[in-house]
Structure 1
Amino acid sequence: MDIDRYISSNEATWVRLDELTRRARQRVAALDDGELDELVALYQRSTAQLSYAQTYFRDPALTARLTKLVAAAAQVIYGKRPRTAQTIVGFFATTFPAAVWHNRRFMAVAAVAFFGPAVLVAVWLLNSRAALDASGSAAERTHYVEQQFEQYYSAQPSAQFFTQVTTNNIRVGFMAFALGGIACVPGVAILAFNGVSLGQAAAWMISEGDTLRFFGLILPHGALELTAIVFAGGAGLAVGWALIAPGDRLRSEAVAEEGRRAAAIALGLMATFVAAGLIEGFVTGSGLPAAVRVGIGLTAWAVFVAYLWRRGRAAAAQGLTGALGERPADVAGVFPVATSGR
C-alpha cells in the first residue's frame, strides 16, 4: 500500500480521534461511555498506525501528524503528567507483580540455584565431621556462634545498621541480577555461592546446639530478604536466557524486551530490600521475643508473596507481562476496556 492510499483509508479514524480528544480535553464528562470506549480504541489503533507509518513510509509530515494526534489522546486518557503518585501506584499495583509473575519459572530456577546448595552444604556438614572440621576449626566455629552471629544484629545503632544492610542487600541483589544477564552461568554461580555461605552458617549454628537461635535471627528478615535476592537473580536469568535462546524474536529484540521486564523487577525489589532492611535493623536485633520477631518477618513475607500472586495473576489475565512502558488495555481503569470489535 502506498502512502496516499494509507492516509485515505485511515483518515476517518484520525479525524474522529481528534474530535473526541478535543471534546475530552475540554471536559471528559462531555463524552458518554460509548464515546470513551471509542476514544480508547481509536487511540490504540492510531498508535499502531503510527508505528507502521514510521517503519514503512518514513514520511516526516505523516509521522509528525500522527505523533501529535497520539500524544494529545494519551494526555487525555492517561492524565496530565507528571502524575507521580498515580504512576507509582500503577507500577506496584500492576507492572512489578506482572513482571515477577511472567518470569516465575526463572524465579523457580533461581530459588533452586540458591537454596539447593544451602541445604546440601548444611546437610553435608552436619553429617560429616571431617567436612565440618574442614569448613572451620572448632575454635572458629565456637567464636562465630558465641561472639559473631547474634552480635552482628545488635552491634550498631538500628538506623545505622538498617542503612548498612539495605545497601549490602541491594548490592548482592544487583550482582545476582547483572551476572544472570551474562548467559546465565555467572548468575547461577553467585546465587549458589551465597547459598553455600548460608548453608555453612546454618551447619555451624546447628552443630553447636543453637538451632532455635539461628532461625530466630534469620527468619525475621531473611524470608523477605532472601526471596528478593532470588527474584533479582531470576530476573537476570530471564535476560541471560533471552540472549541464549531468543526464540522467534531477533536476539536484540528479545534481550531488550526481557531487559525492560527485568528493570521493572529490579525497581520493585529496591522497595523490598528496604522493607527487609527495616525488619533486620529494627526487629531482628531487638529485645522482642523470638516468636514475635519471627512472626513479624513471616507475616511480611506472606503478605509480599500473596500480593505478587494475586496482582501478578490479575495482570496476566489482562495480557500484561510487566515490561516497562507496557500499558493495560483498560488504561489503568480510567476508562472501560476497549472491545476488539471496534
Structure 2
Amino acid sequence: MTASAPAWTRETWPIAAAMIQYPNVLADGRSVQEQSVEEWAATLDDVVDAGFTELDPTDSWLRLADLSPARRDDFMALARSLGLTVPAISTSRRSVIDAVHGDAYLAYCHRVIDTAKAIGAGAVSFGLFEPLTEAQKKALWFWTVDGAKNPDDPAVWQKAVARIRELGRHAEELGIEVSLEMYEDTYLGTADSSVRFVEEVGLPNVGINADLGNLIRLHRPVEHWQAMMAKVAPFTKYWHVKNYTRVEDPGTGAIITHPAPLESGLINYRAAIRTALDHGFNSAFLCEHYGGDGLTVSAANRDYLRRILPRR
C-alpha cells in the first residue's frame, strides 16, 4: 500500500472514548436502551468532563442500531449539544457465525452500517468473538480464562468470509469502512490469520482493527507485538488502542499481564502508529481501558496519542 497524507493533524485526529466501563443493564433492572435523554446526558457528562470530543457508543453500552429513528435522533441531538461527534460504531460479541444467533447478528450488523451512515459515522467495527462464558464472568480478568473458539472448519471460515464480504459491500455502497477486530481464538486471532481473512474478503473498505492489546494480555505465548504490527499495518483501519504490562518467566513458563496506560505498557504505540502511518493509516482511534477508572485512563491515553501523532 502506498502511504498517503493523513486527513488530520494531531489536534484534529478523531480519538473516541469507549463506553466499555458502563453497563447496559442498570441497577434497577432497566436497560440503557430505555433510559431518558436526561439519563443518557448524565453518563455523557462524564465523557465530556474527561475532555473527549468524540464518542463511540460501543454496543455493550447502547445499541444505537436498535433505537427507533426518533430515539436515535434524540441521542445524537444530545451528543451534539455536548460537543460530541460519533466517528465510528463498535460492536461487541455479536459474531455473524454465532451458532445460535448468527443470522440475527448479521441482520443487526447491517442495521449498524445503516445507522453509521444516518449519523455521519465513517466506520464500524465488527468481531467474530462470542459472549463471555460463565467461567470468564467469574474471573477477575476475563482474558485469563479461555472462552469460545471459532471452529477449525473450512466451511465455517468460508461462511464468515462470505458474511463479512456481504457487510463490506453494503458498507462500501454507503462510504463506510469496516474494521475487523483482532481477538484470540477467532479467525482474526493472529496477525497471519487476520491478514489471510481480510485478503479473502477482498474489499478495499474492509480492514483490520489492530487491537493488539487483546492478544498481548493473554496468559499464553503470543507473537511479538512488533511482528504482528508489521503484518497488519497495511490493512489497519478504525483502531481500538489499549495496552498491558506483560511478564514472562522462562524458567517456570508463568505469564502475568495487567492493564496499563498506552505510554507505559508493552506495546510501543509511538512505533506502532508510525508503522501504520507508513502504510497509509487514515482512520479514527478508540481509547479503551479495563480496570479502575477506565474513562480517566482513556483520557490520558488520548492526550498521549495527540502528543505522538503527526503535527501536520
Tell me the TM-score normalized by structure 2: 0.25
Q: Which has the larger radius of gyration?
A: 1
Greater strand share, structure number: 2
Greater helix share, structure number: 1
